[in-house]
């Protein structure tokens, strides 16, 4: 069970030993982001660079142009929508003095993520730290504020949970539960590709997470294996809400990770939830094959492939998998599953998911295909890369030229 930092209170398995033998000796020097996730009633990246298809993480998820419960508890639609836009208050509860910083568990363009321990209950958490100056310089203020807002209203079994935020004159801080199991990306690279039942399990949990976000009129816009963490039992946790946004109608921003961007985004057309279902199809394809369908070393060629190239399947893809992917990775929005009248139900009722008992899956009552080899409750960092530490002073308060643009932290 995940606890507030101030509170004292049948699938064949992936064999960890075999996965260790499959580890590539090539070094991965790319950014590795750890974010976190909790659910009080359940068991317990920033941006990445330089994607080489089997050994390193894919290109940055950059902005490419210019800059099952009601979270509000309010029955009035207008107030509910206002809360989704502004998010719940997350500031004022914690300070840097509430935590002991143990080590860096991830780095990125805006800052780093630390493994920390609460001085109140002794439990481990992840502290995401963003440099204000960098956020402003890269014109990511709106995305950063949106990340806080969207996380603040998202409470779901398969989504990272935000416990609170605070700031000093130079940094923004987001405190989340520590998710020990590592990234799905790392597991996929060690496995090379997932067997059909394994890919299906992870896809089903992601499907439920997206369905929940869409019920709040939140689009995620950056689905990929790097943004999916595994908790200590092997369940999915969607993390990194840097491009998530409350969109009750449509939006136009060109953002995301090149391999996963939907064609309507590249074409600068208005879009909504449909883009997440395209990315969902790409995710399933990558889990089953070990690569994305339209990848090219040139970003522009990748975009051209997304807009024009035919979707081709390896021979080992099952007919049901091919049918589902053909109806998700389709440029025709009037045919894309998830974007039709029945919404997510069309996906959940597809033959590829026929064995999934959705209610039991949501309750985390279905055995996971892989349990990370970790020591639970010990702040185990074995599933994450080591990063050089740097001397940074947190908690300094002085002149803050960015205070007016980040008041919600």
Supply the residues annotated as catalytic: 222
Sign of CA dihedral 383, 245, 251, 328: positive
Report residue 218 as tokens: 């939140």
Question: Which residues, including other chains, have CB under 8 Å from residue 391's CB and lie 6 or more apart?
Answer: none
Backbone angles phi, psi at 351, to 5 degrees: -60, -30
What whole-number distance in Å separates Cα of residue 369 and Cα of residue 346?
25
Element (H, E) at 174: strand 171-177
CB 205 within 8 A of CB 235: yes
Report residue 45 as tokens: 């990246």
CA distances from 115 to 112, 175, 209 (A): 10, 10, 25
CB 102 within 8 A of CB 111: no
């Amino acid at each position: 069970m995940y606890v507030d930092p101030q509170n004292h209170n049948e699938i064949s398995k992936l064999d960890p030993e075999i996965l260790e033998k499959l580890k590539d000796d090539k070094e991965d020097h790319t950014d590795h982001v750890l974010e976190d996730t909790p659910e009080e009633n359940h068991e317990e990246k920033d941006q990445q660079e330089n994607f080489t298809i089997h050994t390193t993480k894919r290109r940055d998820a950059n902005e490419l142009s210019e800059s099952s419960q009601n979270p509000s508890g309010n029955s009035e639609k207008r107030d509910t929508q206002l809360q989704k836009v502004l998010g719940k208050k997350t500031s004022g509860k914690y300070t840097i003095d509430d935590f002991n910083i143990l080590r860096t568990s991830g780095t990125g363009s805006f800052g780093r993520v630390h493994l920390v321990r609460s001085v109140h209950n002794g439990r481990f958490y992840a502290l995401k730290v963003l440099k204000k100056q960098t956020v402003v310089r890269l014109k990511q203020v709106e995305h950063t504020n949106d990340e806080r807002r969207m996380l603040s209203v998202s409470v779901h079994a398969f989504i990272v949970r935000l416990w609170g935020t605070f700031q000093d004159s130079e940094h923004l801080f987001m405190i989340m539960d520590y998710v020990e199991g590592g990234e799905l990306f790392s597991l996929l690279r060690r496995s090379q590709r997932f067997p059909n039942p394994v890919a299906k399990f992870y896809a089903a949990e992601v499907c439920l997470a997206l369905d929940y976000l869409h019920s709040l009129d939140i689009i995620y816009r950056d689905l990929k294996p790097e943004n999916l963490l595994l908790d200590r039992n092997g369940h999915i946790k969607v993390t990194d809400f840097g491009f998530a946004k409350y969109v009750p109608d449509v939006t136009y921003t060109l953002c995301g990770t090149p391999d996963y961007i939907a064609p309507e985004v590249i074409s600068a057309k208005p879009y909504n939830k449909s883009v997440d279902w395209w990315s969902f199809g790409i995710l399933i394809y990558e889990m089953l094959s070990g690569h994305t369908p339209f990848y090219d070393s040139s970003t522009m060629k990748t975009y051209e492939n997304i807009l024009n190239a035919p979707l081709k399947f390896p021979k080992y893809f099952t007919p049901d998998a091919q049918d589902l992917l053909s109806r998700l990775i389709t440029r025709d929005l009037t045919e894309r599953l998830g974007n039709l009248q029945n919404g997510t139900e069309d996906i959940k009722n597809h033959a590829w998911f026929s064995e999934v008992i959705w209610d039991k899956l949501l309750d985390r009552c279905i055995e996971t295909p892989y349990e990370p080899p970790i020591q639970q409750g010990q702040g185990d960092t074995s599933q994450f890369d080591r990063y050089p530490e740097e001397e940074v002073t947190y908690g300094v308060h002085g002149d803050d030229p960015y205070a007016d643009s980040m008041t919600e932290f």
